[in-house]
Structure 1
Amino acid sequence: MMKVIATFGFVGHLRPAPGTWGSAAAVVLAVAAYELGAWWLVPAGFVLATLAGFIAVPRVIAGSANKDPSEIVIDEVTGQWLAMCFTVIPLARHGVSILDAWPAWLAPFLLFRLFDIWKPWLVGRADRRGDAAGVMLDDLWAGLFAGIVSMILAGVYHGVVEPML
Structure 2
Amino acid sequence: MKTMIATVGGVGFLRPAPGTWGSAVGVGLALGLHWLGGFPLLVIATVAAFFVGWWATAGYTAKTGDHDPGEVVIDEVAGQFIALWVVSFGAWHAGLPALALYPGWIAGFVLFRIFDITKPSIIGKADRRGDALGVMLDDIWAGVFAAICTGVLAWISHGVLGL
Give the TM bin, normalised by the shorter chain. Answer: over 0.9
Aligned pair count reads: 162
Q: Distance in 1 between matches of 2:32 and 2:130?
A: 34
Q: Which runs of 4+ in 1 moved over 3 A?
A: none
Secondary structure at the residue paired with 2:99?
A: coil
Contact map agreement 1:20 1:113 (CA 8 A) in 2 = yes
Contact map agreement 1:79 1:141 (CA 8 A) in 2 = yes
1:7 aligns with 2:27: no
CA-CA distance at 1:124 after TM superposition: 0.5
Contact map agreement 1:98 1:104 (CA 8 A) in 2 = no
Written as runs of structure 1 = structure 2, the 5 A alignment for 1:29-68 is 29-34=29-34, 36-39=35-38, 40-62=40-62, 64-68=64-68
1:140 aligns with 2:125: no
Written as runs of structure 1 = structure 2, the 5 A alignment for 1:4-153 is 4-34=4-34, 36-39=35-38, 40-62=40-62, 64-153=64-153
Percent of aligned pairs with the same amino acid: 48
Q: Distance in 2 between matches of 1:42 and 1:7?
A: 20
- TM-score under structure 2 length normalisation: 0.94
Contact map agreement 1:2 1:56 (CA 8 A) in 2 = yes
Secondary structure at the residue paired with 2:37?
A: coil
Give ranges in structure 2 of 5+ residues lacking alignment: none
Flag the structure with higher helix content: 2
- TM-score under structure 1 length normalisation: 0.93
CA-CA distance at 1:41 after TM superposition: 2.5
Aligned-residue CA RMSD in angstroms? 1.3
Secondary structure at the residue paired with 1:29?
A: helix
